[in-house]
Structure 1
């Protein structure tokens, strides 16, 4: 969040503190300044930039398509070329603050409806005014950066604090980000990522000393200013009366108002108040002037806020350790596991393990319950006494987001005792390797796929598990949807980023948008399950750039639902067709054993758009084509009969009502199982009995609470 109004004030009202700099020249000066008296191996001589990775996401994701689920291979190419190795970078990513997520979720709740209305009316992606990042971008970007050889850290507390601490400790050249808290910390220079020009490597440096000269404060007084204005610790509302008093006093003392917007006037007024307090009372850093009109709880809160800006070596009082696991959970893990959890988290090598107790990003509740069971129930005696529960935030109609839901772990159902984490994570015998794979597959109820391990690519095995899980959970999923998922996974491995960019879509389907985002959200659960199981699969195989492309999936969805021949669906590639049919048969057989029989339900688009003569028909016959978005004629326009139940006619429109966007990322409506604005009974599919074997598996009943907050950053 940063300091309320301070960034605006510096950009608009304090131009002398906004200095355009050339990073190459800064690097040269940094090396020259620090080489004197330093050994050649001293880290402080390196012109390292510490980068706030979450602040960069909108600048990195410059791909044309975002609403379809992301163009991940193109995104990887962007990351490869973004910096060009001009100087060393260290990236930090963070877990999102839950309170901030709730506020943001409420604020942007209506944006998804606008996006879906646009797609329904025009059959194309909305413009930049409705842009939001694809699901999973914050979760997978750290893995992308690491795969490109970059140094990446995931924070265990507020990322801006850890960034400022690292930069100060290592004598870094600067901090590249977009958070006004970096002007408050007494650390490295604060450089704007929003104003960065990669071609010239120039940006704006926010000069701390010049700001202080303008507002009449010292550097040590900046933390109190930040807290009175409102920041991540002290909310804007909690100090409203102080700011009102400051503004009133400023109007009396300065009859001629300062030019600029109210935000700028507020910063000046509170600065004058802070300066006057220190004129009357000499205070030590970290203490609050007694003359401030504060209650005892407010004073303590303000002290905590001021101390939050004191970095290691500056602290008058030790801050609370925000990185440790709560004692309520420590007894469930050995010290070795706790240490490994934290190390994997900090190194951005794990997911959904170290912070499993917090909210998680996606709505795969049964899957997560099994992950929690694997993490927490090893060696458990089966009683419910002292059984841990996990706080999760769900987004669904009517939920005011005031309290989290408590989700309980579910055992995996091993025939004997569930293996311990110490054995799964650190065991070296061949038997342990088999246990790891069994644990991973059991989380998705895909134990039968063990025989495929080593026979197909790891990325395809993971995709097959995920699609099977989705089919079992979402009862309105059809054969055509399954074909779209599997054909996309099979064909992706043969596509270059350039070929993927050139795929032409005659129009966009809101249902395909939902299903694409649902798949991407599931990828993070694949990764979490793999980490919890001791990593039977390489993490690289679970990355979206190896298993998903939004535009490719969308094209396969439209082709599958238009009745395209399987040969065309698989790009007329015999090898792809053979692999597809094998996976399709295995998935169908596995689901059938669980009482889930897929039905054919072609889903015709609701809208009709003009296109070039024969555009849609030719597109169906040839598969995806190259080129940009193009509107295509609908089935109704061609006079084809509707080939799906009438109850599905308004399916896409009803999803639109239940959408959600979180943290600036696009997330689809709860699930495609809604009719007349209400969730359908998911215990059985339409017009069909599910059979006893599946009906008794209550833990697989998908809650209508289908959406959740994003992952770190999400």
Structure 2
């Protein structure tokens, strides 16, 4: 959020404080100054730009598709080009990402998550009304983008840090300590810190390497303040620590005094008047010989005075006045969980976290708190479970692997989870207890899994990883298929076991997408044309990407059973490709069509599908064919007859599970997951709700298919589709003419799918 109204004040009221700069020239000037200044603490020859990664992700992701789950290959290419633009100019980049949410900012975090939830609801309403992606004004980041971007940048050879406290503070501290060229971000807090110059990523012209610099010194001249007085100005205007509501009376009084003394100044700029009025108040609180403001003269309540002092100290960096207070306030206390791991593991946890190599484990061991931001989920959907619930059992096992070490864990405090899902008011965290990961004859510890060597240890890591997802049967496939495909198979199998409303068509869409992606170029993926978008497919895409994050957490906890690169979305998922497979699968397309008439892909697909079916059968989960009609937009509806035939609900499904009298996996009789959440007031630590989710609920599949024998065919959207007859999932499909993408990116019928030159990267 930054400082309320400050950036607007600088841009609109005093534009001279906003200077357009050429980063190449800025870098040359910085090098010249650094060579003359023998006191610099940085030995790096290249000028360094510190990048606020969280502020940049929405600018980095400029791919056309965002609602389907992300165009990850294209995003990687864009990120690579962005980095190369700076490195070719001799500018070194250092990236910082938020690693924790500080409790003093929890309310603001919750407020933002609720706001984004409202925006996501609008997205789904638009999807179901129009059957297409909404415009950029409704843009939401693909799920997991910030988390995976850290790994993407590391794979590009960049230096990436994950914060252990407020990321803004660590960015400003690093930039000051290393005498950096500037801070690239989009947060007016960087104007307040007495650190490197603040440069706007929103105003960045990457082709020319120009942007806007918000001049701290010019602001101080206009406001009549010294740089060390800016933190109090920020707190009185309102920031993430001190909400603007808390200081409203102070600002109103300051404004009244200012207008009385300056009746004609800035009459047309109320925001300008407000900033100047508060600036005059701040200046009046400092005597000529005082080192800090005399807050007692404001007649504040003790809690508000303490809050202001905390807010001021949050801007004070090491080496500046009152830095001791700042350091003590940000020092991390010993977590109640840390005693359950060795000193060596604790050290490794922190190192992996800071270097952006780990995932989830640090937050469990050192914080005992896990957060997950918004996901593209339809709050009106009563059938698909929220990802927070789908992946809860595997998270519990991750917590158990990290903390329990073979004992019952009766003395362990529970993990606090701040997860966003429909029906969760976010008034308090969910309390989640670890669940042991037990293997016959093995006593698992992080010390053994992380630091031991040898082939037997590697095998145990892999078995532990698969056990977290109840997919031990997949261990024998290691080495026979690509690691990324093995990870995808594990995730798809886990999702099927947890979500009983998934059908054979959903599994076919997931698997065919993962198999075909390996042979696709970025250009081919960009040219996929989707005649209509389905809200259910959007949710399934987001669910898969969120699942990859849980794979990362399990992989880190088990000692890196698989290379982290194999778990990245650009290795196993593309939103547009998945959506196209979903439409074809639910349209009754044969397997050969799904696999684009590529015989080797078809063979691999059938083997993977059989493995999923086998594991499900062992666990009592029966996969049935249940094709669904998709939403129709006014632009794509062939006529009112279709709407009359498929008017069973907004989601376009064949009725909710309540209407069918069915009981999806993990749901008690008498209501859906959301109804169960209405009992959140009595959150029991070991109650039936936790136990039901841990068990995964009822086993078994659904009875019957579509109501009234309805069946949706791809020719409704793909006019040239050759209907090969009923979709029989139990027999080897006939070899039929397949679909290809023509030179203009349209579906066209081809005698054979052309053999690709080789696996894509």
The bucket for the TM-score relative to the shorter chain is: 0.7 to 0.9
Please report how far the alpha carbon of residue 4 of structure 1 lies from its aligned counterpart in structure 2 after TM superposition: 1.1
TM-score (norm: length of structure 1): 0.86
Secondary structure of the corresponding residue to residue 363 of structure 2: coil
Secondary structure of the corresponding residue to residue 296 of structure 2: coil
Count of residue pairs the alignment pairs up? 649
Task: Tell me: CA distance 1:66–1:323, structure 2 relative to 1, closer, same or farther (3 Å).
Answer: farther
- 2: distance between equivalents of 1:678 and 1:324? 51
Secondary structure of the corresponding residue to residue 46 of structure 1: coil
Say which of 78, 85, 91 aligns to 2:95.
Answer: 91
1:360 maps to 371
Answer yes or no: is the 8 Å Cα contact 1:288–1:303 preserved in 2.
Answer: no
- Could you list the per-position Cα deviations for residues 620-653 of structure 1 after superposition, in whole angstroms to 9, with x for gaps in the alignment? xxxxxxxxxxx475996499x88xxx9xx42726
1:188 maps to 196
- Could you list the per-position Cα deviations for residues 171-195 of structure 1 after superposition, in whole angstroms to 9, with x for gaps in the alignment? 1111111111111111111111111
Answer yes or no: is the 8 Å Cα contact 1:175–1:190 preserved in 2.
Answer: yes
Structure possessing the higher relative contact order (Cα contacts under 8 Å, 6 or more residues apart): 1
- 1: distance between equivalents of 2:67 and 2:274? 39
2:242 maps to 234
Kindly indicate whether residue 274 of structure 2 is the aligned counterpart of residue 266 of structure 1.
yes
2:21 maps to 21
2:8 maps to 8
- Could you list the per-position Cα deviations for residues 248-296 of structure 1 after superposition, in whole angstroms to 9, with x for gaps in the alignment? 21122222252444333221111010111224x74314x5432122122
1:546 maps to 571
Task: Tell me: CA distance 1:320–1:518, structure 2 relative to 1, closer, same or farther (3 Å).
Answer: same
2:743 maps to none
Kindly indicate whether residue 436 of structure 2 is the aligned counterpart of residue 411 of structure 1.
yes
Secondary structure of the corresponding residue to residue 137 of structure 2: helix
1:309 maps to 315
Please report how far the alpha carbon of residue 118 of structure 1 lies from its aligned counterpart in structure 2 after TM superposition: 1.7
Answer yes or no: is the 8 Å Cα contact 2:41–2:177 preserved in 1.
Answer: no
2:59 maps to 59
1:369 maps to 396
- 1: distance between equivalents of 2:358 and 2:124? 34
2:557 maps to 532
1:138 maps to 146
Task: Tell me: CA distance 1:42–1:239, structure 2 relative to 1, closer, same or farther (3 Å).
Answer: closer
Answer yes or no: is the 8 Å Cα contact 1:20–1:204 preserved in 2.
Answer: yes
What value does the CA root-mean-square deviation take over the aligned residues? 2.8
2:119 maps to 111
Task: Tell me: CA distance 1:445–1:488, structure 2 relative to 1, closer, same or farther (3 Å).
Answer: same
Please report how far the alpha carbon of residue 333 of structure 1 lies from its aligned counterpart in structure 2 after TM superposition: 1.1
Answer yes or no: is the 8 Å Cα contact 2:128–2:633 preserved in 1.
Answer: no
Task: Tell me: CA distance 1:312–1:40, structure 2 relative to 1, closer, same or farther (3 Å).
Answer: closer
Kindly indicate whether residue 493 of structure 2 is the aligned counterpart of residue 468 of structure 1.
yes
Kindly indicate whether residue 656 of structure 2 is the aligned counterpart of residue 650 of structure 1.
no
- 2: distance between equivalents of 1:260 and 1:371? 58
1:175 maps to 183
Secondary structure of the corresponding residue to residue 77 of structure 1: helix
- 1: distance between equivalents of 2:660 and 2:144? 27
1:558 maps to 583
- 2: distance between equivalents of 1:676 and 1:165? 58
Secondary structure of the corresponding residue to residue 20 of structure 2: strand
- Could you list the per-position Cα deviations for residues 175-234 of structure 1 after superposition, in whole angstroms to 9, with x for gaps in the alignment? 111111111111111111111111111111111110001011111111111111111222
2:291 maps to 284
1:628 maps to none
- 1: distance between equivalents of 2:269 and 2:396? 50
TM-score (norm: length of structure 2): 0.81
Moved more, 123-132 or 359-368: 359-368
Answer yes or no: is the 8 Å Cα contact 1:65–1:71 preserved in 2.
Answer: yes
Secondary structure of the corresponding residue to residue 508 of structure 1: coil
Kindly indicate whether residue 301 of structure 2 is the aligned counterpart of residue 295 of structure 1.
yes
1:497 maps to 522
What does 1:258-657 correspond to in 2, within 5 Å?
258-279=266-287, 282-285=289-292, 288-316=294-322, 317-318=324-325, 319-320=327-328, 322=330, 324=332, 326-356=334-364, 357-361=368-372, 363=388, 364-380=391-407, 382=408, 384=410, 386-607=411-632, 631=636, 633=638, 637=642, 649-650=648-649, 652=651
Answer yes or no: is the 8 Å Cα contact 2:120–2:140 preserved in 1.
Answer: no
Task: Tell me: CA distance 1:685–1:485, structure 2 relative to 1, closer, same or farther (3 Å).
Answer: farther
Please report how far the alpha carbon of residue 654 of structure 1 lies from its aligned counterpart in structure 2 after TM superposition: 9.0
2:74 maps to 74
Moved more, 492-501 or 220-229: 220-229
Unaligned 5+ residue runs, structure 1? 611-630, 656-671, 687-695, 704-714
- Could you list the per-position Cα deviations for residues 440-466 of structure 1 after superposition, in whole angstroms to 9, with x for gaps in the alignment? 000100000000011111001110110
Please report how far the alpha carbon of residue 15 of structure 1 lies from its aligned counterpart in structure 2 after TM superposition: 1.1
Task: Tell me: CA distance 1:543–1:127, structure 2 relative to 1, closer, same or farther (3 Å).
Answer: same
- 2: distance between equivalents of 1:260 and 1:343? 53
Answer yes or no: is the 8 Å Cα contact 1:389–1:409 preserved in 2.
Answer: yes
Task: Tell me: CA distance 1:550–1:128, structure 2 relative to 1, closer, same or farther (3 Å).
Answer: same
Answer yes or no: is the 8 Å Cα contact 1:395–1:401 preserved in 2.
Answer: yes
What does 1:29-44 correspond to in 2, within 5 Å?
29-36=29-36, 43=43
